[in-house]
Chains A and B, each alone.
Chain A
Amino acid sequence: MTTYYTQDHEWISVDGATGTVGITDYAQGQLGDITFVELPEEGATLSKGDAPCVVDSVKAASDVYSPVSGTVAEVNEALADAPELVNTDAEEGGWLFRLTLSDPAELASLMDRAAYDAFVQGL
């Protein structure tokens, strides 16, 4: 399993043809208390860069962009009752949706952990 990062602060953890998407711990820290997560519909077809998901915090309602193209296979139902999971466990239990990747080659354009950490350092 390999995890990749975007400049918009999403992560995608890829296992075979399936990728799990969430926002990074840095992103949740910037947003503040998360109050609601609007999740995509299962079966929705996404292109890289689409915004299928909105994270509401006390400060803002922010789009989450899909790091790569694919079909939504599963969404994190637990967030309906516990959106704060995105705050407490952004990069594990606070995942947002799972994708069946349609073009795994797109992963090459994303950052690895070291590159993302360096990117955040530079902000």
Chain B
Amino acid sequence: MRYLPLTPAERAEMLEVVGAASVDDLFVDVPPQALLPGPVPGLPRHASEMAVERHMGALAAQNLSAGEAPFFLGAGAYRHHIPASVDHLIQRGEFLTAYTPYQPEIAQGTLQVLFEFQTQVARLFGTDVANASMYDGSTACWEAIAMAGRVTKRNRAVLSGGLHPHYSATATTMARFTGDRLDVRLPELDADPDDAALIAALDDETSCLVVQYPDVLGRIPDLPAIAEAAHARSALLVVVVTEPVALGLIEAPGKLGADIVVGEGQGLSVGLQFGGPYLGLFGCREKYVRQMPGRLCGQTVDADGRRGFVLTLTTREQHIRREKATSNICTNSGLCALAFSIHMTLLGGEGLARLARINHSLACRTAEALARVPGVRVINRSWFNEFTIELPRDAREVVRELSEYGVLGGVSLGRLYPGSSELSNGLLVTATEMTTEADIHALCAVLQELLVDSHEGSPT
């Protein structure tokens, strides 16, 4: 059997049929600015597998990766301990089915996992229902905004300054094509999020308020007050959770008045993975279930009365309802959802609460130690495992210098909000159960060293 079916003669025959002189002729419509002018300089024509491995290994060795250094980065992607049993279990043959069920009812095992996943997400979020997952937190956030528009028949959404800027950016991209109006805000380096300003932005055209909990600076917004204000204007409250472990310690948003709760499940399911694939979580009140995007798995009985699982409400999905579908997402992050479910099952409710307490306590230890470093000011009044500090100079530079000392010190706000000079001295610091006393000591010692000059030089 030949694996390369096209002979030069066959190619010539096909080109003749379509009326092209050469294969390159098929690409004449590509605009010149998108074309490479010629061979990439310095790129060898070929190399052996061993040589490529050696080369790539040397490049990779230049990275300072999360597992090799004291690591305090968060901002929507969290380094947690995912037990080896999770990786082992997700690879079992029983789970090696289609990533999303196209002919669903023959894959009862997949459907059962999704059903249990939905139950876990709904309990974690405190919502009546949850779907079978979405791509990631940011796309789930946009889907919630679009859904609020369908429910309220309004198209202006107010995005809190505490919403992760990458989530706002995703929504802004989507809104370019749907005509939704987004009121996007910046955070301020204050002890508490500015809930009053958010509430003041509500009007009778507003479909929803979008609030991150804890917010991007790690602070805890007052959800009941925000929910009450939103509902008084017949707007919905969308709550975004980028760190699901937090819900082991703080009250579920659905219990505090949120109508739609979305989030990023990465922290409990998969590693950092250079930013993806991640896991979008989505839950809402039952009365809005028909406007909920994505796949939904339900439990039923078969003709003999035995328990079985089905995909339900699929008539609202795009493969049936085309442009009037609830969403263009008809899929789910099956493997990441499976990892999430297995890890949640291993943890149990008490395990999650204990994990959350460890995270919070190590974050408190980190904050206390940092507060003693001259020149460092802890911004937050409240936090879970992530908080913001203000440095006496540009945090981007400090992060770069810390990395030269082998410490990954956090995410600078200058990186999240380029061009926003009021925020440029802000640094987001995260501690998880992976953080050790030695890590905290290393961070504070190097930071103190780096800040000596700038602190002594300042009038305060």
Contact yes or no, A60 B290, CB < 8 A: no
Q: Report B49-75 residues with CB < 8 Å from chain A CB.
A: none
Could you tell me which residues of chain A, from 40 to 66, have a CB within 8 Å of some CB in chain B? 56-61, 63
**Does B84 have its Cβ within 8 Å of any Cβ on chain A?**
no
**Interface code B307-336, partner A: CB below 8 Å = 1, 0 otherwise?**
000000001100011001000000000000
B324:A63 contact, CB within 8 angstroms:
yes
Give the chain A neighbours of B324 by CB distance below 8 A: 61, 63
Chain B residue numbers with a CB within 8 Å of A61 are: 315-316, 320-321, 324
A36 at the interface (CB under 8 A from B): yes
Say whether A38 faces chain B, with CB atoms less than 8 Å apart. yes
Name the 6 nearest CB pairs between A and B, nearest first. Answer: A61-B315, A61-B316, A60-B315, A61-B321, A56-B315, A60-B320
CB of B147, distance to nearest CB on chain A (Å)? 14
Q: In the complex, A97 Cα to B315 Cα: how many Å?
A: 22
Instruction: Give residues of chain A (15-57) contacting chain B, Cβ–Cβ below 8 Å.
Output: 36, 38, 56-57
Q: Which residue of A36, A57, A59 contacts B290 across the interface (Cβ within 8 Å)?
A: A36
Q: Is the beta-carbon distance between B315 and A38 smaller than 8 angstroms?
A: no
Within 8 A of A (CB), among B76-107: none
- Which residues from chain B contact A56 at a C-beta distance below 8 Å? 290, 315-316
* B residues 285-303 touching A (CB-CB < 8 Å): 290
**What is the CA–CA distance of A15 and B424 in the complex, to the nearest angstrom?**
69
Nearest-neighbor residue (CB-CB) of A55 within chain B = B315
Measured CB to CB, the residues of A under 8 A from B are 36, 38, 56-61, 63
Interface of A is mostly: strand
Interface of B, helix, strand, loop or mixed by DSSP: helix
Bound Cα distance A57, B316 (Å): 10
Q: How far is the CA of A61 from the CA of B316 in the complex (A)?
A: 6
- Chain B residues in 8 Å Cβ range of A59: 315
A38 — which chain B residues lie within 8 A by C-beta?
Answer: 290
Which A residue's beta carbon lies closest to that of B289?
A36
Q: How many angstroms from the CA of A58 to the CA of B324 in the assembled complex?
A: 17
Q: How far is the CA of A63 from the CA of B320 in the complex (A)?
A: 13
17 contacts between A and B (CB under 8 A): A36-B290, A38-B290, A56-B290, A56-B315, A56-B316, A57-B315, A58-B315, A59-B315, A60-B315, A60-B320, A60-B321, A61-B315, A61-B316, A61-B320, A61-B321, A61-B324, A63-B324
CA distance A58 to B290 in the complex (A): 14
A40 to chain B, nearest CB (A): 10
Contact residues in B for A58 (Cβ distance below 8 Å): 315
- Residues on A with C-beta less than 8 A from B290 are 36, 38, 56
Interface residues of B in 1-56 (CB under 8 A from A): none
Q: Which residues of chain B have C-beta atoms less than 8 A from A57's C-beta?
A: 315
A59 closest partner in B (C-beta): B315
Chain A min CB distance to B318 (Å): 11
- Residue ID in chain B nearest A38 by CB atoms: B290
Beyond the given pairs A57-B315, A61-B316, A61-B320, 14 more chain A to chain B contacts, judged by CB atoms under 8 angstroms and listed by A's residue number, are A36-B290, A38-B290, A56-B290, A56-B315, A56-B316, A58-B315, A59-B315, A60-B315, A60-B320, A60-B321, A61-B315, A61-B321, A61-B324, A63-B324
Q: How many Å lie between the Cα of A61 and that of B290 in the bound state? A: 11
CB distance from B129 to the nearest CB of A (A): 15
Distance from B290 Cβ to chain A, minimum over Cβ atoms (Å): 7
Smallest CB gap from A61: residue in B? B315
Complex-state Cα separation, A60 to B316, whole angstroms? 8
B139 to chain A, nearest CB (A): 23
A56 to B290, CA, bound (A): 10
| Complex alpha-carbon distance, A81 and B316, angstroms | 20
Which chain B positions have C-beta within 8 A of A63? 324
Within the complex, what minimum Cβ distance (angstroms) separates B265 from chain A?
A: 28
Cα(A61)–Cα(B150), bound, Å: 15
Closest to B316 in A: A61
Distance in angstroms between the alpha carbons of A58 and B298 in the assembled complex? 14
Q: Which residue of A lies closest to B315 (CB)?
A: A61
Q: Which residue of B lies closest to A44 (CB)?
A: B153
Query: Max chain A CB contacts within 10 Å: which of B290, B315, B316, B324?
Result: B315
How far, in angstroms, from A20 to B250 measured CA to CA in the complex? 51
